[in-house]
Structure 1
Amino acid sequence: MASITFKGNPVTLLGNEVKVGDKAPTFTVLANDLSEVTLEDSKGQVRLISVVPSLDTGVCDAQTRRFNEEASGLGNVKVLTVSVDLPFAQKRWCGANGIENVQTLSDHRDLSFGEAFGVAIQELRLLARAVFVVDSNDTVTYAEYVSEATNHPDYEAALEAAKKAE
Structure 2
Amino acid sequence: MTNITFKNNPITLLGEQVTVGSVAPDFSVLANDLSVRTLADYEGKKKLISVVPSIDTGVCDQQTRKFNEEASKIENAVVLTISNDLPFAQSRWCAASGLDNVVTLSDHKDLSFGMNYGVVIEEMRLLARSVFVLNENNEVVYVEYVNEGTDHPNYDKAIEALKSI
The code of the aligned residue for 2:119 comes to V
Aligned position for 1:83: 83
Question: Equivalent residue for 2:67?
Answer: 67
Contact 1:71/1:101 (8 A) holds in 2: no
- The one-letter amino acid of 1:104's match is T
What amino acid sits opposite 2:141 in the alignment?
T
Where structure 2 has 5 or more consecutive residues not aligned to the other structure, the ranges are none
Number of the residue aligned with 2:56: 56
Counterpart amino acid of residue 122 in structure 1: E
Between the aligned partners of 1:120 and 1:140, the Cα distance in structure 2 is 19
C-alpha contact (below 8 Å) 2:71/2:159 kept by paired residues: no
Return the offset for 1:71. 2.5
- RMSD of aligned C-alpha atoms? 0.9
1:3-152 counterparts in 2 under 5 A?
3-152=3-152
| AA aligned opposite 1:130 | S
The CA distance in 2 between the partners of 1:65 and 1:52, in whole Å, is 12
Q: Secondary structure at the match of 2:50?
A: strand
Q: Cα deviations across residues 84-108 of structure 1 (Å, max 9, x unaligned)?
A: 0000100010110012232000000
Q: 1:161 matched to which residue of 2?
A: 161
- How far did residue 16 of structure 1 move? 1.2
AA matched with 2:131: V
Q: TM-score, normalised by structure 1?
A: 0.97
TM superposition score normalised by structure 2 = 0.97
Aligned length: 165
C-alpha distance in 2, partners of 1:151/1:111? 23
Any idea what SS the aligned residue of 1:37 has? strand
The whole-number CA distance in structure 2 between the counterparts of 1:78 and 1:62 is 17
Counterpart Cα distance in 1 of 2:74 and 2:99: 16
Cα–Cα, structure 1 residues 18 and 2, in superposed 2: closer, same or farther, change >3 Å? farther
User: Runs of 4+ in structure 1 displaced over 3 angstroms?
Assistant: none
Q: Is the 8 A contact 1:120 1:126 kept in 2?
A: yes
> How far does residue 2 in structure 1 lie from its aligned partner after superposition?
4.5
Q: Measure the CA separation in 1 of the matches of 2:60 and 2:136.
A: 26
